[in-house]
């Protein structure tokens, strides 16, 4: 510790500005304006400007490129997922129209159902995700499809897959593990296979 630090300075600070040499008279006509030094003022303007630019950029990105986050979609009772007629009773890929798919997916300890999805390149896929037991989460590697799976809620995101390849989707919210067991939160993942155009195979339909 340096010397200067240890001077008994707290006495001076206490009592606010009692040491003010100007005396009472001048204090009385006290300003309510906040005094701001020149460079400080410039910096504050820059900071405000930066903040505004960020917000505008994000808003534009959201509106024009359709980069979005999950919203309020639907609720579903996690104890009824297996009942007939429940869209999550038969999770999997469904083709809605050429190039358009929907995927119903259940996250549960400790796997995704389905844990393998195939779609042709260029497909637009809408994901519907819910959880059976505890909270899970999923991110499709190298994409912005990233959402939480909550019991009682349906999460939805739409994405287009333009590059053939295999994409892992990995559970990224802690969902348990029993010591010594072969599976657990860290083994919970699936694979999305984007097939190249010439192999436009049959995507598994249920």
Stretch touching another protein by CB under 8 A, among 97-105, 119-127, 130-138, 197-205 = 130-138
Among residues 117, 171, 195, 203, which is the contact residue for Cu ion, using CB under 5 A?
171
What is d(CA 152, CA 78) in angstroms, rounded to the nearest whole number?
6
Instruction: Give the SS3 label for residue 121.
Output: coil
Q: State which of positions 1-30 bind another protein (CB under 8 A).
A: 1-2, 4-21, 24, 27-28, 30
Site string for another protein, 30-59 (x = CB under 8 A): xxxxxxxx-xx--xx--xx-xx--xx--xx
What is d(CA 71, CA 132) in angstroms, rounded to the nearest whole number?
20
Q: State which of positions 105-144 bind Cu ion (CB under 5 A).
A: 136
Select 113 or 159, whichever has its Cβ closest to Cu ion.
113
Tokens of 50: 């930066």
What is d(CA 66, CA 99) in angstroms, rounded to the nearest whole number?
19
What is d(CA 103, CA 157) in angstroms, rounded to the nearest whole number?
10
Does residue number 105 form part of the binding site for another protein (CB under 8 A)?
no
Distances (CA, A) of 123 to 12, 129, 156, 194: 71, 18, 16, 9
Does residue number 100 form part of the binding site for another protein (CB under 8 A)?
no
Among residues 87, 189, 193, 200, which is the contact residue for another protein, using CB under 8 A?
189
Among residues 133, 160, 193, 200, which is the contact residue for another protein, using CB under 8 A?
133
Q: State which of positions 7-46 bind Cu ion (CB under 5 A).
A: none
**Facing residues of 155 across strands?**
129
Return the beta strands (E) in the chain as ranges.
Answer: 74-75, 92-97, 100-108, 111-113, 116-120, 123-131, 136-140, 146-149, 153-161, 165-171, 189-195
Report, in Å, the least distance between residue 4 CB and another protein. 6
136 binds, among Cu ion, another protein, none (CB under 5 to 8 A by kind): Cu ion
Note the residues at the interface with Cu ion (CB under 5 A).
136, 171, 175, 188
């Amino acid at each position: 510790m340096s010397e200067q630090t240890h001077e008994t300075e707290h006495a001076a600070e206490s009592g606010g500005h009692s040491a003010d040499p100007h005396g009472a008279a001048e204090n009385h006509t006290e300003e309510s304006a906040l005094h701001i030094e020149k460079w400080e003022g410039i910096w504050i303007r820059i900071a405000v400007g930066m903040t505004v630019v960020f917000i505008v950029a994000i808003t534009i990105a959201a509106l024009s490129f359709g980069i979005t986050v999950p919203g309020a979609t639907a609720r579903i009772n996690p104890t009824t997922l297996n009942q007939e007629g429940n869209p999550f009773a038969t999770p999997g890929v469904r083709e809605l129209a050429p190039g358009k798919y929907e995927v119903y997916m259940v996250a549960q300890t400790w796997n995704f159902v389905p844990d393998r999805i195939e779609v042709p390149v260029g497909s637009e896929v809408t994901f519907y995700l819910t959880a059976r037991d505890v909270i899970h989460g999923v991110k499709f590697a190298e994409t912005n499809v990233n959402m939480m799976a909550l019991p009682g809620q349906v999460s939805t995101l739409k994405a287009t897959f333009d590059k053939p390849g295999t994409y892992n989707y990995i559970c990224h919210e802690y969902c348990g593990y029993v010591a010594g067991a072969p599976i657990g939160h860290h083994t919970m993942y699936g694979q999305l296979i984007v097939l190249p155009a010439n192999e436009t195979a049959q995507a598994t339909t249920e």
